[in-house]
Structure 1
Amino acid sequence: MAGEGGDGEAWLGIDLGTQSVRVLLVAADGTVLGRGSAPLAGRRDGTRHEQDPEDWWRAVCEASRAALDPRAGLRIGGLAVCGTSGTVLLTDGAGRAVSPALMYDDGRAAREAARLREAGVAVQDTWALPKALWLMKEHGREPGTGSGPGTGSDARRITHQPDVITARLVGRPMPTDSSHALKTGYDPHRDAWPDVPDLPEGALPDVVRPGSRLGEVCPAAAEATGVPAGTPVIAGMTDGCAAQIASGALRPGSWNSVLGTTLVLKGASLVPVRDATGVVYNHRAPDGTWLPGGASSVGAGALTAAFAGADPAAMDERAAAFEPSRVVTYPLVSPGERFPFAAPDATALVLGEPENDADLWAALLQGVAFAERLCLDYLHHLGAPVDGPLSFTGGAARSPYWNQLRADILGRPARVPEQTEPALGMAALARHGGTGGSGLADVAERMVRVRTVVEPRPVRTALFAEPYARLVDELTVRGWLPAAVAAHALARLDRDTAHS
């Protein structure tokens, strides 16, 4: 293999998103040499949200070929794959899907989650472990046999989204990584799976740490994707962690806010952040440090649902006239909230009557930012280190207006990297795992380029204090937000606006 960052060597990051697969080919200095994307379709119906795993492979092949086409013949030092956290399916002993994939926010396993909580297992309704139990009940039998999960080629194995792709790339079933396994109950403190009586023996996959070498791209996968045979395949992390790597927020106290369809906050800490409710969980970084964070059901998906086909830039311009809006929202993309509080019965809030579409758009933008502030307040309440740099990534970071609005509401500066895609984080992880050289934080900082730093405007921060307090009060009255958390958030609000 060429030396670390050697001339003519690049790294491939693959991101399995909700709406598309995105692939980036990245040089050691962060230069994007090629990119590709391919759409994904899913099925939503109430609490149901699923996708066909075969569509992932089709989209990976299409997006990879597009990313590599302008750089045919370039040496690829390695690749890594990220997926949506909590997305799970069943495969047989050969790695073939035998169920649909239950996506990160599929809520059909609420009963299984409740039973796990009664047994002392801290899970949320949409986490992968209860969904795995639901899948075993619904799809854990060989068609037409009436038998159980079986053994050998008939065995049903719990599989995470990226595992489907790494298996196709290498040509055989692969271990999962501890990051994607976290919401399936894997304990990164003990490096062990929990004892779940309802799961058959052998249903849980082997686990490796992110950055581990899984194998090499096989000839059949090379022909399908355009990725050269023999390219190292490196164990990845969840999309939230991937975006965190892409932001460079890997030093203790730094945080990355990923705003896409939903909102994910990920930080770095020398020790895990303890949360008895399970709202905040801790991924293990490749170097053994901790990446605490949480995933909300609030996000830009609420804008897409309310304003299908709208021009976001044009709506942003009109929304500037409503700062703050008299309407206060908590814009959940789907029923139930996971972070900054656990409330399976939570529903989207719209308090007040918007004057027009621009006012509603403004209220939704502001509502997401209020939720983002509440997430940081909750992390502070738990004692997490939150005093380091903050970065914005995700699709919403392409909106300069929303970036400024979020910085104003949060009352703190935010860095916006030039490249905000999780695929960049996977390229950095692939380089780290493929070279065995510098630490991941060092590699990421060399590959991440900051486009701009958004400074908050204190006068604006003060203007948004009252609607934020209204939202906190409303969430508390409805019984979703614990009173102690609300009091902490309001105390921090008073502190931040006292001298404005």
Structure 2
Amino acid sequence: MRKDVAVGLDIGTGGARALAMDLSGAVVAGGRADLPPEAVFVDGPRVEQEPRAWTTAAQAALRELTDKLRNEYAIIALSIDATSGTFLLADENNQPLTRGLMYNDLRAAEEAPEAAEALHDVLGPYGITIAGSFALPKIMHLARTQAETFARCRRIVHQTDWIAGMLCGRYDITDISTALKTGADPGKLAWPAAISGRLGISSDLLPQIVLPGMVIGEVTAEAAKLTGLPKRTPVVSGCTDGTAGCLASGAKAAGDLNVTLGTTLVFKAVAERPLLDPAGAVYNHRHPAGGYLPGAASSTGGEWVTQYFANANLDELGDQADGLLPTGRLAYPLVKKGERFPFACPTAKGFGMEEIDDPVSRFAAGCEGTAFVERMSIEGFAGLGLSIGDTVYATGGGTAGRTWLRIRSAVNRRVYAVPEQPECAAGATVLAATPYFGDCGKAIAAMVRIGRRVEPEPALADAYDREYARFVDELGKRGYR
């Protein structure tokens, strides 16, 4: 009897990554394909990629995966995640009229305020403000600056939907996390009337919206030949890369929190209802299970590591720093001017790092300062009405070092759980298995394996309570909060 596996496909900035996992979360096979340099086009604020290169990379990654799967495995479904806000215009035959306009394309700065005003009443309750990087103002820009091309457009296709269309032939359906930056109403799973009524973008061009984790089609005979996937394999609605990363973390129930520590701290919590933030720092995606993913991003994170320790052995530094805790040094390791969360202060500047000469002490103090910002952020969620649970599901480069996790666990008095497979493709795999389990939460519980758990040390936590109070007081003295 063949063993069931689900397949996730991640379409990232640099290429495609396919992953097959069994229904207990064990990785069975993988595949990868990079985009060629000639598929990427950058011209000032314009950042584009060739959609057919996405197709080629996706097919190659899937072909590598299916070649590795032996006959004892049966693929039950596939799902896709891709970059948020990336899209193209397609004609009546689902052929590209434009290159893919990427999530970081900023050509539509002039259209963004108009779009934000038109959709404020609809999106404001979810903490969403249309920005220049969003898809919607760029669609407006194309309609106004490339009128002849736009007149030939019959469908606006997001990056996730483009790959799904290649696999199952349906280019007319999208998921709500992917549609968010095109102006979709996350509560109603619908396109606001203002998009057509005030902004002039016909609703006929926009896809149907569903939650992630729904069966939307089956692999066609042509796609089966190109990828090695079995014909009629169910294709499940996907999500953005950010949402996929949260699913891969293990966060699944109301009050769960995923914190990704990379260049910045990025927070995604699970909630039954939207979390309303008067300051506008928290925005709300929909959760595939039907609730919400209130999220926010700090300006503080791990960027200081690159600034001060670009060529250092971080494992060695961490081991040495472990014996210095707590350091008693106050450091706010913000690299660039301005903080956005857990407090909004455009004039905020980092402090304390330059005054520490010893590199080991500086490294330890930077880890502590980042953990203090993380604690303030968690308290910020609580202040808005969402009580965070006893476990933080930690992802990102900041999970690699034992010392930093030890600091974060003690500062926040929480268990830090690090998944074995934190990559976005693993989150897409969870979505692919959601119809099998009947619920996204059940799929996460079954398939996300926690590789490490770090428990808070009571004595260190007590010491950090005092240091945290000093940190908050110093921020107040400087007028940052």
Q: Which residue of 1 aligns with 2:162?
A: 164
After superposition, residues 230-269 of structure 1 pair within 5 angstroms as 230-269=232-271
Residues 1:413 and 2:415 aligned together: yes
Question: What is the distance in 1 between the residues matched to 2:45 and 2:407?
Answer: 33
Q: Which residue of 1 aligns with 2:78?
A: 79
Aligned to 1:275, the other structure's residue is in SS state coil
Q: Which residue of 2 aligns with 1:26?
A: 21
Q: Deviations over 1:253-281 (max 9, x none)?
A: 22222334543322222333222444223
Q: Which runs of 5+ in 2 are unaligned?
A: none
Q: Which residue of 2 aligns with 1:285?
A: 287
Q: 1:44–1:265: structure 2 CA closer, same or farther, 3 Å change rule?
A: farther
Equivalent residue in structure 1 for 2:67, among 66, 69, 76:
69
Q: Which residue of 2 aligns with 1:488?
A: none
Q: Which runs of 5+ in 1 are unaligned?
A: 1-5, 484-500
Q: What is the TM-score with the length of structure 1 in the denominator?
A: 0.78
Aligned to 1:165, the other structure's residue is in SS state helix
Q: Which residue of 1 aligns with 2:186?
A: 188
Tell me, yes or no, if the aligned pair for 1:82 and 1:162 is still in contact at 8 Å: yes
Q: Which residue of 2 aligns with 1:135?
A: 138
Q: 1:215–1:395: structure 2 CA closer, same or farther, 3 Å change rule?
A: farther
Question: What is the distance in 2 between the residues matched to 1:17 and 1:283?
Answer: 20
Aligned to 1:192, the other structure's residue is in SS state coil
State the 1:72 CA deviation.
Answer: 4.0
Q: Which residue of 2 aligns with 1:91?
A: 89
Aligned to 1:329, the other structure's residue is in SS state coil
Tell me, yes or no, if the aligned pair for 1:240 and 1:265 is still in contact at 8 Å: no
Equivalent residue in structure 2 for 1:271, among 270, 273, 288:
273
Tell me, yes or no, if the aligned pair for 2:5 and 2:22 is still in contact at 8 Å: yes
Q: Which residue of 1 aligns with 2:357?
A: 355
Q: Which residue of 2 aligns with 1:35?
A: 30
Question: What is the distance in 2 between the residues matched to 1:351 and 1:45?
Answer: 38
After superposition, residues 162-241 of structure 1 pair within 5 angstroms as 162-194=160-192, 195-196=194-195, 197-202=198-203, 203-241=205-243
Percentage of identical aligned residues: 34
Question: What is the distance in 2 between the residues matched to 1:472 and 1:39?
Answer: 45
The one-letter code of the counterpart of 1:400 is: R
Aligned to 2:134, the other structure's residue is in SS state helix
State the 1:32 CA deviation.
Answer: 0.9
The one-letter code of the counterpart of 1:200 is: I
Q: Deviations over 1:55-106 (max 9, x none)?
A: 544443343344333214432111111234x4323322325262443336x6
State the 1:432 CA deviation.
Answer: 1.4
Tell me, yes or no, if the aligned pair for 2:391 and 2:414 is still in contact at 8 Å: no
Aligned to 2:238, the other structure's residue is in SS state coil
Q: Which residue of 1 aligns with 2:445?
A: 445
Tell me, yes or no, if the aligned pair for 2:135 and 2:181 is still in contact at 8 Å: no
The one-letter code of the counterpart of 1:458 is: P
State the 1:12 CA deviation.
Answer: 0.6
Tell me, yes or no, if the aligned pair for 1:142 and 1:148 is still in contact at 8 Å: no
Tell me, yes or no, if the aligned pair for 1:14 and 1:23 is still in contact at 8 Å: yes
Q: 1:224–1:266: structure 2 CA closer, same or farther, 3 Å change rule?
A: same
Tell me, yes or no, if the aligned pair for 1:95 and 1:167 is still in contact at 8 Å: no
Question: What is the distance in 2 between the residues matched to 1:95 and 1:339?
Answer: 41
Aligned pair count? Answer: 465
Tell me, yes or no, if the aligned pair for 1:25 and 1:34 is still in contact at 8 Å: yes
Question: What is the distance in 2 between the residues matched to 1:341 and 1:129?
Answer: 23
Q: Which residue of 2 aligns with 1:392?
A: 394
Q: 1:134–1:282: structure 2 CA closer, same or farther, 3 Å change rule?
A: closer
- Root mean square deviation, CA, Å: 3.8
Question: What is the distance in 2 between the residues matched to 1:142 and 1:219?
Answer: 39
Which stretch of structure 1 is more off in the superposition, 443-452 or 111-120?
A: 111-120
Question: What is the distance in 2 between the residues matched to 1:478 and 1:201?
Answer: 50
Q: 1:320–1:231: structure 2 CA closer, same or farther, 3 Å change rule?
A: same
Aligned to 1:237, the other structure's residue is in SS state strand
Question: What is the distance in 2 between the residues matched to 1:161 and 1:346?
Answer: 36
State the 1:222 CA deviation.
Answer: 3.5
State the 1:224 CA deviation.
Answer: 4.0
The one-letter code of the counterpart of 1:135 is: K
Question: What is the distance in 1 between the residues matched to 2:323 and 2:390?
Answer: 32
The one-letter code of the counterpart of 1:90 is: L
Question: What is the distance in 2 between the residues matched to 1:199 and 1:138?
Answer: 11
Q: 1:170–1:304: structure 2 CA closer, same or farther, 3 Å change rule?
A: farther
State the 1:325 CA deviation.
Answer: 7.6
State the 1:424 CA deviation.
Answer: 2.0
Q: 1:9–1:132: structure 2 CA closer, same or farther, 3 Å change rule?
A: same
Tell me, yes or no, if the aligned pair for 1:329 and 1:367 is still in contact at 8 Å: yes
Aligned to 2:206, the other structure's residue is in SS state coil
Q: Which residue of 2 aligns with 1:424?
A: 426
Tell me, yes or no, if the aligned pair for 2:155 and 2:172 is still in contact at 8 Å: no
